[in-house]
Amino acid sequence: MKQRNFSLSCAVTFVLTAGLAPTAMAAQAVSATEFLASLGVNTHLNYTDGSYADYDSVIADLQYLGVHQVRDAVPDPRGGIPYQNDVTAIDAMAASGNRFDFIVNPALPVGITTDEIATLERAHPGSVFAIEGPNETNNSPVTYQGLAGKAAAVAFQRALYRQVHATPILRGKSVYYYTGLDATNSLTGLADFANAHPYSYQGQQPAARIASAFAKQYLMAPTYPKVITEAGYFNVPMANDGVDDATQAKNNLNLYMDAFAQGNARTFIYQLVSAYPNGGSDTQSGLFRMDHSPKPAADAIHNLTTILADAGKAGFKPAALDYSVANLPVTAHSMLLQKSSGQFDIILWSEPADWNNITHEAIVNPPVSATVTISGATGNMAVYDPMLGNQPIKHVLHTGQIAVNLVDHPVIIEVQPTRPDVLTAENLPPAGAAN
């Protein structure tokens, strides 16, 4: 029997059959809350002359997404009035429950950088979770203490790491490695997490690009902690690498799934809002347009986080579920989550080529019907498609089996626990179009 194995960062391993009859297996779930905490987005609050100047709308955008892990730059005190505007926006964001990975500027002394971050952390305890080394040194070379190139970037990164861990209020915050094309075989004394920007250009699906980016840049054992601080999809016709709105939405969903399944603790999509016009048109990488109206990509993430939202219970430990998937496409992946209510969420996503970069048109892939089978008694089962909404499109009553159509983005199969209060047709939510 042909089988494929997928592993998660928390040592969860499960097996799925491809195109064959179902074979039951015990899969250990991951907390849905842990997955949602991995979702991040880039902002530019220091762009005080563009769409980010309206930080109240930025806060509303994040609330709509259901994403509150933000990557942004450390405010630069040399910036005059824009500095004050930047600090005001960051304070408002933190007060609203958003948390930051701060990218440092190697042109600023390390001590000034950590002082700025510490000030925010004192004002809003817990608002800082990471400090990140210089951004894309291949595009913005670093000079530091008479050094240049990789030597300068490494020296600055080492100084940053020491300063963060020597600052009492920042001690224990994660330090992310700098980004660029430099390869390394050790993070000792430099960072707590490896870091990459695995953009999939020309509309290519994200899984292979994520794996190759870390393999090329980090020449160490594959068990190191890692994060993705930039990745995502641009809109047509930007740099001849853009995709249409629907493809941006689908592939960004796949990006979040692939990154977590490959062990990335956090993934920050670039970027929240299209900041400025592009050649007179609003065709950039934002999840929201310049007027803060949501693109399909924002709607899809909103639907995903709404479906997977969990109020949480103290001490909750995810359990295992015996299930199988028959007729899974060779381009498909799977992940098992569980909420503290006991509800399981089986996520299936397929990644066939879905964009033709020559014609700049989406590729229409036919759906593949796969069957999910749960071993033993089960409650209601429902299917959700984040590209269509956050309500179920199909459900069945405690039969233990449901068919789903897989195309080129995630679908979620919700499995309710076997309790008397969920084993009645009256408790089923209304279904939309058949899946």
pLDDT in tens, the chain (435 residues): 232 333 333 333 333 334 434 445 679 999 999 999 999 999 999 998 889 999 999 999 999 999 999 999 999 998 778 899 999 999 999 999 999 999 999 999 999 999 999 999 999 999 999 999 999 999 999 999 999 999 999 999 999 999 999 999 999 999 999 999 999 999 999 999 999 999 998 999 999 999 999 999 998 766 789 999 999 998 866 556 789 999 999 999 999 999 999 999 999 999 999 987 765 555 578 999 999 999 999 999 999 999 999 987 778 999 999 999 999 999 999 999 999 999 999 999 999 999 998 888 999 999 999 999 998 767 899 999 999 999 999 999 878 899 999 999 999 999 988 754 433 344 444 454 433
Cis omega (within 30 of 0) on the bond before 22? no
Q: Residue 148 is encoded by which pair of tokens?
A: 């240049």
Q: Model pTM?
A: 0.91
The domain made up of 3-29+318-427 is a member of CATH 1.10.150: no
CB 417 within 8 A of CB 379: yes
Domain borders along the chain are 3-29+318-427, 33-308
Residues making up the chain, counted from first to last? 435
Q: Residue 24 is encoded by which pair of tokens?
A: 């039951």
In sequence order, what are the beta bridge partners of 28? Answer: 320
DSSP code at position 264:
E
CB 265 within 8 A of CB 226: yes
- Grouping H, G, I as helix, E, B as strand and the rest as coil, residue 216 is helix
Q: How far is CA 183 from CA 178, 195, 201, 284, in A?
A: 11, 11, 21, 30
Domain 33-308, CATH number (from 3.40.50.300, 3.90.950.10, 3.40.50.720, 3.20.20.80): 3.20.20.80
Residue 119: Cβ within 10 Å count:
14
Closest by CA position to 298, among listed 412, 417, 369, 386: 386
CB 94 within 8 A of CB 87: no
Rounded Cα distance, 235 and 237, in Å:
6
- Angle between the 81-95 and 55-65 helix axes, to the nearest 10 degrees? 30
